[in-house]
Amino acid sequence: MKSDYIVEHSLSPTGEESDWQLRGRLLIDHTSRSGLLSAHEWTDEEIEKFDALYQGNGYYKLRIKSTAENSKFFLFIFDGELVNSILACQLIKGDEQIVLHADSNGRINGFDYFSTNPKCHTTKTKGSNQLPSSLTKSVEVSMSFGDRGESPFAPEYEASPKIKDQPSFFSKYWWAIGLFGFMMFANILGGLAK
């Protein structure tokens, strides 16, 4: 069974409202648990915006949306949208990686978005207006499925036995203290009687 998703990206500066634009289509083959995000033809404006994100240490954002066709079969959370982001500088030297997370019933409920080289470079070439090669090719997508149960799955934990309250020294040895006190008192009285 295959599913088709719309992938959008935002090149808006961090702190501003995201302006989402089409990045491509994500086709998932559920039997092989993998997929492919189609390559995107970047416009000059998008390249300039990405360069500005890179220069300003901003975040590049991805959004995956369910198509109407998928909504019959799969239940997306967040009104049919999943969003993730990465520092733009991490995409300069590394390839994009996407891992979709689904429950045991196949419903996608999140995704990881990261770079194969997460190191940001300290030297930045100003106004290069050139995209990293990783953003100009298609991206392989893998899937991670839950082991069992309904979504969401909560792991079962065995509760440890309740620890008994430790008694105080006096409450634990009251009888010995009382006996010792009685013997001392009797000894003192016996000494006075002589």
Are 67 and 50 a contacting pair, CB within 8 Å? Answer: no
Q: Specify the pLDDT at position 62.
A: 92
pLDDT in tens, the chain (194 residues): 677 888 999 999 888 888 999 988 888 876 777 788 888 888 889 889 999 988 888 999 999 887 755 544 444 333 478 899 988 888 888 888 888 887 766 677 788 888 888 888 666 555 555 666 666 666 767 766 655 544 444 556 566 677 777 888 888 888 898 999 989 888 888 777 66
Please give the structure tokens belonging to residue 38: 């189609």
User: What predicted TM-score, i.e. pTM, was given to this entire model?
Assistant: 0.64
- Name the CA dihedral angle for 88, 80, 106, 85, rounded to a multiple of 10 degrees: 10
Q: Specify the pLDDT at position 93.
A: 81
Q: Specify the pLDDT at position 129.
A: 57
Q: What is the largest CA-CA distance in the chain?
A: 114
CA 166 vs CA 75, 125, 163, 171, 174: distances in Å: 51, 66, 9, 10, 15
